[in-house]
Amino acid sequence: MTPALIQAGQAAEAASLTPLLVVGGYLGLLLILGFVSTRFFRGTSNDYFVATRSIGPFMLLMSVFGTTMTAFALVGSTGKSYEFGVGVYGLMASTSGIVHSLVFFLVGIKLWAIGKRHNYVTQIQYFRGRFQSNALGYVLFPILVALIIPYLLIGLIGAGAVAKAVTRGMFPDTFDGGAVPPWLTGLVVSGVVLFYVFLGGVRSAAWANTFQTCVFMVMGVVAFFLIANKLGGVQAASEQLLANAPEHAAREGMIGHWQFLSYAFIPLSVGMFPHLFQHWLTARSAKTFRLTTVAHPIFIMIVWAPCILIGVWAAGAGIEVPTANAILPKTVVTLVQQPVITGLLTAGILAAIMSSLDSQFVCLGTMFSNDVVLHLAGKDRFTDAQKLWLGRGFIVFVVAVTYVLSLLYPGNVFDLGVWSFSGFASLFPLVFAAVYWRRVTAAGALASVLVMAAVWIYFFWSGLEAEGEYLVFGLMPVTFIFLASIATLVVVSLLTRPPNAEVVDRFFAK
Amino acid sequence: MAGKLAWGFVLVLAVLHYDFWYWDDRTLVFGFVPIGLFYQAMISLLAGLAWFLVVRFAWPSKIEEWAAEG
């Protein structure tokens, strides 16, 4: 199909309600699954927060992968490759395949064992115990919450943008532009996620994630073949790419060498995601991690490789969008033009978004309950049933606050994503040292977190006015934040008194 | 020894991930996959194999018992 034909297609978008009905069907299935999963809920706070540490290998793989892959996996990857070409896969996906599994193996399994041994349900409980420092908990809590909020907004705002693109022209007399407005999409998505996590906590999130991960993996591959078919086949699509946008088929001029290398710091962020920590704690045994460690890089390839090709093909086909992140829904609506398929692909994108949102909502509710209220008031002051309802109450609070923030935030939310990941990645030295370095001290940990926050804020403000990818001497800013964090951790730890050996012994196997 | 070799495989993949030799190459593999993307996708597949070998030969065997002591 030529660019001229595509322009014609853009002018004749379908206004059929079918895609919306298909998405409604998907959300209905999710509600039913959420309700069914509550049949397995054991009614205790331990089951609500960590599923009584009973999740098996397949469900752990699907929930960890689904949680890690946000709206960025489908929408952002396609948008980035539309903008910067095929090099985006090496920049973000294959690096993650190596680094994520490295973190699961070296840090995830250790933290699972420590969490089980000491009955922890949050990261901050671990750091407070490991460093015998309340101050570290009070400093770390607001930083973790502040870093996870943009991550949540990526989901809600991304869902609104996708629904708006797909439903354009459906309701000409009801909504501006005839499209479902973002405030309504955000309300529905938040409501559906809240329904199942409110009832069943992290166990329901794991069930829903398993279903949602299947949906978005299958729909990503389906989108790839349908779009390739509409472009005259995979070979014709790639030949069109070489003819019209050859720069997208390589990295020269699109991605710098130092940018490529320094991006490898970003995937370390999974070591400090609070919601991933909580999923690790749900594992039945250490062996449960084996499938997740092995299959994760392969799953990344299955999701990312087709999306990268869709993005560069769209560039070659001359499809135009106001922002790069709109390219996947735009390509689907423009080229596929089959309402049922459009609905299924939209459901796939929403599945990728919601499989992260649910874990993050549960995680923040768990943190507010355990790290603030129970920590200050004392665990023994509440019955188990009260702890459970405390968790539920905070989840409702977190969902409501996130929804309101999503209505107020005006900017390109994907630009915030890399800053969120940079912050979590720069906290990785803290968790790695806590798990492997007996000599690390509370003062070193505290100084490292504070320096990380200060350097992060400096680069964030410096990068606000930047056009395109913000680089410092050709490197990702995370490089400098990470190095400042690790240098502070090591130097301050070596300059301060070693920690109590008896305390340290409790966290290290003989 | 097998465990060390498995970790060596992971390290080699991490180094080979920086494929500067394909930086400006637009060859299409199988007629449709740009070679830079094909190479990186193979890195992902081999990473799955590398982690299988690590999990098989370098597993922390005593961690289960230590966690269960509680």
Closest residue of A to B19, CA-based? A90
pLDDT in tens, A66-94: 998 877 788 889 898 998 999 999 988 99
DSSP assigned state of A91: I
Q: What is the C-alpha separation between A209 and A416, in angstroms, rounded?
A: 24
User: Is 90 exceeded by the pLDDT of residue A168?
Assistant: no
SS (H, E, C) B26-63: CCEECCCEEHHHHHHHHHHHHHHHHHHHHHHHCCCCCH
* pLDDT for res A364: 92
User: Residue B70's pLDDT is what?
Assistant: 63
Maximum Cα–Cα distance across chain B: 57
B69–chain A nearest CA distance, Å = 6
CB contact under 8 A, A252 and B24: yes
What DSSP string describes A8-72? HHHHS----SHHHHHHHHHHHHHHHHHHHHGGG--SSHHHHHHGGG-B-HHHHHHHHHHHH--HI
Is A298 within 8 Å of B14 when comparing Cβ atoms? Answer: no
pLDDT at B50 over 90: yes
Angle CA A356–A359–A360, to nearest 5? 80
* Residue A472 burial class via C-beta count within 10 angstroms: exposed 0-12, middle 13-18, buried 19 and up: middle
| pLDDT of A14 | 45
The token duo for A68 is 């890690």
Nearest-CA distance B59 → chain A (Å): 9
Of A118, A235, A298, the CB nearest to B44: A298
For B29-42, b/e burial (b = at least 16 CB within 10 A) is eeebbbbbbbbbbe
For A118, other C-beta atoms within 10 Å of its C-beta total 15
Partner-chain contact B28 A238, CB within 8 Å: yes
Residue A15: per-residue pLDDT: 65
Q: pLDDT exceeding 90 applies to what percent of chain A?
A: 59
Judged against a pLDDT cut of 70, whether residue A386 lies above it is answered with yes
Residue of chain A whose alpha carbon sits nearest to that of B9: A98
Phi-psi region of A145 (alpha: psi -120 to 50; beta: other; left: phi over 0): alpha
Give me the torsion for CA of A113, A114, A117, A118, rounded to 10°. -150
Q: Indicate the burial class of A342 (C-beta count within 10 angstroms; 0-12, 13-18, 19 or more).
A: buried
- Res A10 pLDDT > 70: no
Using the predicted structure, report yes or no on whether residue A286 has a pLDDT greater than 50.
yes
Measured distance CA(A330)–CA(B59) in Å, rounded = 46
DSSP A301-364: HHHHHHHHHHHHHHHHHT---SSGGGHHHHHIIIII--HHHHHHHHHHHHHHHHHHHHHHHHHH
Residue in the block written with tokens 């460690």: A293
Q: Rounded to a whole number, what is the distance in Å from the CA of B1 to chain A's nearest CA?
A: 19
What is the set of domains in chain A, with CATH numbers? 3-38+49-505 (1.20.1730.10)
| Band of residue A414 on the pLDDT scale cut at 50, 70, 90 | low
Task: List C-alpha distances in Å: A390 to A274, A369, A484.
Answer: 19, 6, 38
| Residue from the list B22, B31, B55 with its beta carbon closest to the beta carbon of A293 | B55
A321: left (phi over 0), alpha (psi -120 to 50) or beta: beta
Q: What mean pLDDT comes out for the span A247-267?
A: 91
Taking CB atoms and an 8 Å limit, are A309 and B45 in contact across chains?
no
Cβ pair A234:B32 closer than 8 A: yes
DSSP SS3 for A447:
helix
Report whether A158 contacts A416 (CB < 8 A): no
pLDDT tens for residues A17-62? Answer: 889 899 999 999 899 989 899 878 888 998 999 998 899 999 999 9
Distance of CA A314 to the CA centre of its chain: 25
Q: Does residue A274 contact residue A144 with C-beta atoms inside 8 Å?
A: yes
**Both tokens assigned to A8:** 């014609």
Number of H helices and E strands in chain A, helices first, is 25, 0
Gap between the Cα atoms of A42 and A346, Å rounded: 34
Cα within 13 Å of Cα(A418), Cβ side: 24
* DSSP-derived 3-state class of residue A263: helix
* Residue A412: per-residue pLDDT: 58
pLDDT for res A455: 96
* pLDDT band, very low/low/confident/very high, at A294 (cuts 50, 70, 90): very high
Smallest CA–CA distance, residue B24 to chain A, in Å, is: 5
Residues in chain B closer than 8 A to A298 (CB atoms): 44-45, 47-48
Asked whether A202 and A312 are in contact (CB, 8 A), the reply is no
List, for residues A130-155, the tens digit of each pLDDT value.
999 989 998 999 999 999 888 888 88
Cβ contact B51–A101 (<8 Å): yes
Is A116 in contact with B69 (Cβ distance < 8 A)? no
CA distance B12 to A429: 23
Interval A434-468: pLDDT, tens: 999 989 999 999 999 999 999 999 998 788 767 67
Q: At what angle do helices A94-103 and A289-317 cross, to 10 degrees?
A: 160
